[in-house]
Structure 1
Amino acid sequence: MTPKKSISAASRMAVLAAAVSAATLLGACAPLIVGGAMVGTALSVTDRRTSGAQLEDQAIELKSINRVREAAGSESNVSVTSYNRTVLITGEVPTEAARVATEQAVARIENVRATVNELAVMGTTTLSARSNDAILSSKVKAAFVDAKDLQANAFKVVAERGTIYLMGRVTEREANRATELARATSGVGKVVKVFEILTEAELAALQRK
């Protein structure tokens, strides 16, 4: 039987390898990045969002592509991540006007319930920095997978310039535990919580469905 520690290490390496591969592809991609809902995969079965919310999140991210590009301009690097219709906007834009216009463009998309604007007014980051962010988010996800007291699929992790943004429908205990693990991950400079907090009773009801 393979020792539990070896399995954990292997899972980390697999996740990090996937992150490096994804980061390598950034050079051929447009500056705009969308989070992408995992609809149609096995993970969607255990997702705490309804199937309708998962589809709406995917639609929001897809619709944001052209709208954000028009609002922010070609000199921007913007990432849009929707979770249960709350939209996190991260990245860099050249002016404050572009920052405001980008959030307004996203807020007008159908089914968007709320926006969290974390755009920085500055020059766009390098490919190397984005690759590091991809690896960093994968390290945090691996820490969640290794934790015995968390359901890793309940969280969406976004990394931007060394800051980790955590999204999900979680209890206060889960939020605190995930934040603790993310902060303890090497390379993480700051953790920002963008959670929808559930009571323990609400979580129990979700798990019975």
Structure 2
Amino acid sequence: MKTPPQALAPSAAAATADGRRRTLLLGLAAASTLPLLQGCFPVVATGVGAGAAMVSDRRTSGTYVEDESIEWKVSGRIRQRFGNTVNVNVTSYNRNVLLTGQAPNATVLGELEGIVAGVEHVRGVINEVVVGPNSTLTARANDALITSNVKARFVDAKRFSAHHVKVVTEANVVFLLGIVTRTEADAAAEVARTSQGVRKVVRVFEFISDDEARRLDNPTGARR
């Protein structure tokens, strides 16, 4: 039961105000994502932003850039082949490609994996596209809001580095990608599962040992 506004103590009122501001910020983030969602174009990080992202990523810098290239190529080929008859979002992580979205029929659905497999350097395909009508802009905005909320809760939880887990949401289903330890995977899945609006969590992780995680996180390492 919601507490009447007049019954809120000063500290509770401040917390409520903070919550409202945070909701507004998440809503703005979702709205700003809409143009990208409409075109199904992946965002390529550039300049200082890309450098910062690479430093905190467990992928090599070469693989990071390669994943961006794979997303562009796969998205372009799907768009060229099917135009607006499909809504397919492409996420490449460590050269494994996750497909989410909608296809009009099983025939189109079956062609998608072949398109991905034809792109150079792809290691594997996880096809989570479903047969059905393309999602609405409202549904996509809601998914973007869920993604933003899950990422924010990763940071608040402080149980692992939020940089190590990529979040993709489709139809209220959250997909988690990353190169992580079992402990990190369990923590990320728990935070995502308990986030508002999440219907289901799907793990698309690559698992490493604690020792390997420490090695990859060592900024003085020679792997880059």
Q: Does 1:142 align with 2:136?
A: no
Q: TM-score, normalised by structure 2?
A: 0.82
- Verify: 1:154 aligned to 2:154, yes or no: no
Which ranges of structure 2 fall in alignment gaps of 5 or more residues?
1-10
- Could you tell me whether the CA contact under 8 Å between 1:72 and 1:101 is conserved in 2? no
> Which secondary structure state, in structure 1, belongs to the residue aligned with residue 84 of structure 2?
coil
**4+ long deviations beyond 6 Å:** none
Question: What CA deviation, in whole Å up to 9, does each residue of 1:14-38 have, x standing for no partner?
Answer: 86145223244358x32x3436567
How many residue pairs match? The answer is 203
The percentage of counterpart residues that share the same residue type is 41
From 198, 206, 209, the counterpart of 2:216: 206
Quick check: 1:186 aligned with 2:196? yes
For 2:175, what is the secondary structure of its paired residue? strand
* Residue number in structure 1 paired with 2:115: 105
Cα RMSD of the aligned pairs, angstroms, is: 2.4
On the 8 A contact 1:71/1:105 being kept in 2, the answer is: no
For 1:34, what is the secondary structure of its paired residue? coil
Report what 1:168 is aligned to. 178
Question: Against the structure 1 CA distance between its residues 14 and 145, is the aligned structure 2 distance closer, same or farther, given a 3 Å change threshold?
Answer: farther
Larger radius of gyration: 2
Please give the per-residue CA displacement for 1:57-101, whole angstroms capped at 9, x wherever unaligned: 011011112211234442110100001101100000101111111
Give the TM-score normalised by the residue count of structure 1: 0.88
Structure 1 residues 60 and 24, CA, compared in 2 at 3 Å: closer, same or farther? Answer: closer
CA contact (8 A) 1:35 1:82 kept: no
Q: Deviations over 1:96-144 (max 9, x none)?
A: 1111111110111111011100000000011000000000011110110
Gaps of 5+ in 1: none
Retained in 2: the 8 A contact 1:157–1:167? yes
Q: How far has the Cα of 1:201 moved from its partner?
A: 1.1
Aligned counterpart for 2:99 among listed residues 73, 84, 89: 89
Q: Which residue in 1 is equivalent to 2:42?
A: 34
